Structure 1
Amino acid sequence: MQQSYQVKLDTFEGPLDLLLHLINQYEIDIYDIPVSKITEQYMHYIHTMQQLELNVASEYLVMAATLLAMKSGLLLPNQELDIEEEYEEDPREELMRRLIEYRKYKEAASQLQDKESDLNYSFTRPAQVIAFKKNQEKVSTKGDLSIYDMLAAMQKVFDRKKWNRPLETTIQRTEIPIKQRMEEVLTQLQDHRLGVSFDALFEYPSRSHIVVTFMAVLELMKDKKIYCKQETHFDALIIYSMEDNA
């Protein structure tokens, strides 16, 4: 029996991080969360993770169950309450409080990370003449996409390719090492100096090929050999080589 790819990524920061990403992406008012919409989009991401055979942490599934239960409760017809009955809190309020608190700590962590990054460029040593380039730029500033933006792009790939559609020809399954696929992606980028669309990397209707390609892209980004750009939300992702745009 062939073993499927099981991948665990440290880039995922938790279900609250994903919800906050969706709120920012769809410009949702955090004080008035549309449960139906946020639940639908959240489940799209969970489904995409499962299609990619990623090892989805249980906390994501717990949040999915919580959102579905919340959505079902809000869809039920309102029942008339007796005056003496205790006030029942809107189920969205607890989620709102958790998200606001998470956002507060996330922003504080980002500020601390910026301070740490600045300190990394501070050195205590005797004064001397140091030659450096005035236009030096940190490599990490290239591209500003999160793992959730990558998953959103994968959703579009699955929708366009229709992987589950019956094929007219029989294609033999072949397992491609991630290292080999990384080299193929780099070669493809060398032939396209102006970048390659994310969708163009997935040429073959094979689930193993799409999973390996996705992992190869993430590994290349981690190694700072490529980066992705997206002009605005929901636009196509463009992949660039670091060497061509150094």
Structure 2
Amino acid sequence: MDSPALPEALPTAEAAAEPAAQDVVDQVAVARLYGEPLFRLPQDLYIPPDALEVFLEAFEGPLDLLLYLIRKQNFNILDIPLADVTRQYLDYVEQLRRRNLELASEYLLMAAMLIEIKSRMLLPPKKNPDGSEPEDPRAELVRRLIEYEQIKLAAARLDALPVMGRDFLRAQVYVEQSLAPRFPDVDPDDLRAAWADILKRARLNQHHTISREQLSVREFMTVVLRRLQGRRFVEFQELFDVARGAPVLVVTFIAMLELAREHLVEVTQAEAFAPIYVRLAYQPA
């Protein structure tokens, strides 16, 4: 006899959640909101019109744009058709002005310059005061464009050079050093310089003894009077004994000044810059 069929088991919560989790895993997140993956965009999502802008061409300034328009149409840079170039230039500036007025100010200045050059070309040229033909109104603009193109090409060539860290990396190899240290050889000039430095420091640390010598001014006054005794004139330099050193010279000079103050000697000179003489003072009998 067949056994009665058992009722089918009710699906558990884990079994019901498993297909849903499988679907989430298989999907690709279109964005992340505060770190959480977002698999479906909200229906009421508002995207501002200026949220996304695509720039097909990027220019670094008015000259860059002008050079691009000239080279794109293969115009001769020495003979620029200003009417066509100015019209295309103004179209781009008008698009730029709608997005960013502050950025368009530089381009508007160049547009004004192009219009001025075109108006000068329409008017009859005025000859220079010396009778020569006037310069082409486009000449200054052409010079600026040629200089800018040369600088731009030079910058492109420099950028094409390989740069460490961008195009290549420096190889680093670790070489194990030997256990025995190898000291560098000493150059004779370095050794002589080190010895001269030691001698220089030794001279700065020399010691000397200072002795005190008792010198009497009265004693040297007697010496000076003895030298002047019996002589009419004695030259000033003969009264000083240079060999005995500076202290004796100072005391001798003070002794002579003291004798002159007491009117015992006279110091005379015949004229300016003449030799100085010393003699005993005249004492009447």
Q: TM above 0.5, one fold?
A: no
Bigger Rg, which one: 2
Band the TM-score falls in, shorter-chain normalisation: 0.3 to 0.5
- Relative contact order, higher structure (CA 8 A, sep 6+): 1
